[in-house]
Structure formats: structure tokens, C-alpha cells
Structure 1
Amino acid sequence: MERSLILLKPDAVQRRLMGKLISRFEEKGLNFVAMKLIRITPELSKQHYAEHAEKAWYPTLETFITGGPVLAAVVEGLDAIQVVRGMLGATNGLQAAPGTIRGDFSSSRQMNLVHGSDGPDAASREIALYFKPEELVEDEPTITKWMRAADE
């Protein structure tokens, strides 16, 4: 099993898309093991986006991500990182394929609704930024055996 951080960004929250987006991840068979509604501070934004903090466009990103509530969540499943990234689609909603979250709901590069970890190291680092270990719920839903073969 693999875990990924998901952030439903302020545009997703303000557009009242949280339920639809959560449903899509659940329907794919991913398990939510942590979730909370938060406000990202400028300090947390700088930690999360450390590799971008010195770029000229970073202030606009920080203003956006700190501009409203964000739903932070951790999902777990087989190849969860790759699965989430595929479900999100291209970063720019105008270039994202129909059927992906961004392709169906976004028309922006920056206001692209959802963040998903881009690799195992990033997932570990990001999950630790948003959740304490005791906030992650260890549970395997009973439906799991009907979502994938036992040898997967």
C-alpha cells in the first residue's frame, strides 16, 4: 500500500466540489486515512512549496493557497501516487484530458483544484507537514477484497 497527500485547494472548496472530488477518489478504490479542513499559513506554504519559494511567480501561488480553506487528506491504495496523479490530469486544466478532475472541472493552470504528491519522497514529506502520525487512521475497509485481487 502507498499513501499520497491530497489537498483540495481553495478553489475546490469555494466551488463546493469537495464531495464530488472525494467521491471520485473513493470510487477508484482509494481509502481515506486522514482528513481535515485547514487554512494554510504563509509559513506552511513556504515549507510545502520550498522548491518554488524563490521563483518570481511564487507570491501569486502563496496568495492563492492561503486565500481560503483547504481540505487536507491522505489516501492509501495500490500505486496511490500514480493513481491520484492520473486522476488529476495535466496541471493546466485547459490541457487536461476529459475524464480527469482538472479536465472536467478546471480551466486554469494555478487554480487547478487539487494537489497530489508527485512521488514517494514528496508524499512522506508532505504528509508529515499536514498530519501528526496519530492523525493517520490505520484501517482496511471490508470492501478492499472486492476492489483488487489478493495477490496485487
Structure 2
Amino acid sequence: MEHTFVMVKPDGVARGLIGEVVRRFEAKGLRISAMRMLYIDQDLAARHYGMHVGKSFYVGLIDYITSGPSVAMVVSGGNAISVVRNIVGATDPAKAAPGTIRGDLAMDI
């Protein structure tokens, strides 16, 4: 059994998409083994997105991720990492296929 981290970011929480995201994982036989709603502070955001320090979008990313509550979850199951990647879709929503979470639900990168 594999485990992987998934986060519903502030816009997804504000738009009421948590249930739909969970439903899509469960429909593929995965389970949510941990879930927590939290406000990400500047320190946690900086640690989580540290690989982007110095990039043009970094400040906006930190502002966005700290703008409201997020939901962090651990998704578990057979081949959970690859299954979650397929369900979530490409990182760039413009390149995410229809039927994926990002392809269907994302508003912007």
C-alpha cells in the first residue's frame, strides 16, 4: 500500500470542492487515511515551496497559499502515487486533460 500527500488549496476550499476531490479518489478505490483543514502560515508555506525561492511567481504563490484555509490529506491505496497523479492531472491546468481534477475544476495556475 502506498500513501501520498494531496492538498486542496484555498480557492478549492472556498468553492466547496473538498467533497468532489475526495469523491474522485474514493471512486478509484483509494481511501483518505488522514485529513486536516488548516491555515498555512508564512513559515510553513516557505518550507513547502522552498524550491521556488527566487522565481518570479514565488511571492504570489506564498500570498495565495496563506490567503485562506487549505485541506491537507493523505491518500492511500494500491499504486496510490500514480493513481493520484492521473486523477489530479497536469500541474498546469491549461494542459490538464478533461476528466482530471485540474482539468475540470482548476481556475488558474
Following superposition, the deviation at residue 94 of structure 1 comes to: 2.1
Identify unmatched segments of 5+ residues in structure 2: none
Once residues 51 and 105 of structure 1 are traced to their aligned partners in structure 2, the CA distance between those partners, rounded to angstroms, is: 26
Following superposition, the deviation at residue 31 of structure 1 comes to: 1.3
Q: State percent identity of aligned pairs.
A: 46
Once residues 107 and 67 of structure 1 are traced to their aligned partners in structure 2, the CA distance between those partners, rounded to angstroms, is: 16
Instruction: Give the TM-score of the pair, scaled to structure 1.
Output: 0.68
Contact 1:41-1:66 at 8 Å conserved across structures: yes
1:59 pairs with 2:59? yes
Following superposition, the deviation at residue 108 of structure 1 comes to: 1.5
Identify unmatched segments of 5+ residues in structure 1: 110-152
Instruction: Give the TM-score of the pair, scaled to structure 2.
Output: 0.94
Hey, what does 1:32 align to over in structure 2? 32
**Other structure's SS at 1:94 match:** helix
**Counterpart of 1:48 in structure 2: which amino acid?**
H
Q: Which has the larger radius of gyration?
A: 1
More helix by share: 2
Contact 1:6-1:72 at 8 Å conserved across structures: yes
Once residues 61 and 50 of structure 2 are traced to their aligned partners in structure 1, the CA distance between those partners, rounded to angstroms, is: 12
1:1-150 equivalences in 2 (<5 Å): 1-109=1-109
Once residues 49 and 79 of structure 1 are traced to their aligned partners in structure 2, the CA distance between those partners, rounded to angstroms, is: 25
Query: What count of residue pairs does the alignment treat as equivalent?
Result: 109
What's the Cα RMSD here? 1.0
Once residues 41 and 58 of structure 2 are traced to their aligned partners in structure 1, the CA distance between those partners, rounded to angstroms, is: 14
